[in-house]
Amino acid sequence: MKVRCDINGLDCPHCALELQKRIAAHDSIDNADINFPMKSLVMDVADDADEEAIVAIAQGIANDFEDGVTIELRD
């Protein structure tokens, strides 16, 4: 399933690409795609995954990567 999020606080496209790689490397996340201009993050995860838990994982990775980055589940 796809988990769609808004991502804010990234400074540059290069940072977005690096964060995308780090999120995609997590065992619970099959793939991640950050669209820097649209401020969106889409993650491919298992169909039975808990969306809130996945967002928390991504937020934890972002917190370790750069201060001020926020990831929120899109409505």
In terms of Cβ atoms closer than 10 Å to its own Cβ (0-12, 13-18, 19+), residue 58 is buried
Determine if the pTM surpasses 0.75. yes
Q: What values do phi and psi take at 37, rounded to 5?
A: -65, -35
Share of the chain above pLDDT 90, in %: 99
In terms of Cβ atoms closer than 10 Å to its own Cβ (0-12, 13-18, 19+), residue 39 is middle
Q: How far from chain centre, in Å, is Cα 70?
A: 9
Contact 74, 5 (CB under 8 A): yes
At 75, the pLDDT band (50, 70, 90 cuts) reads: confident
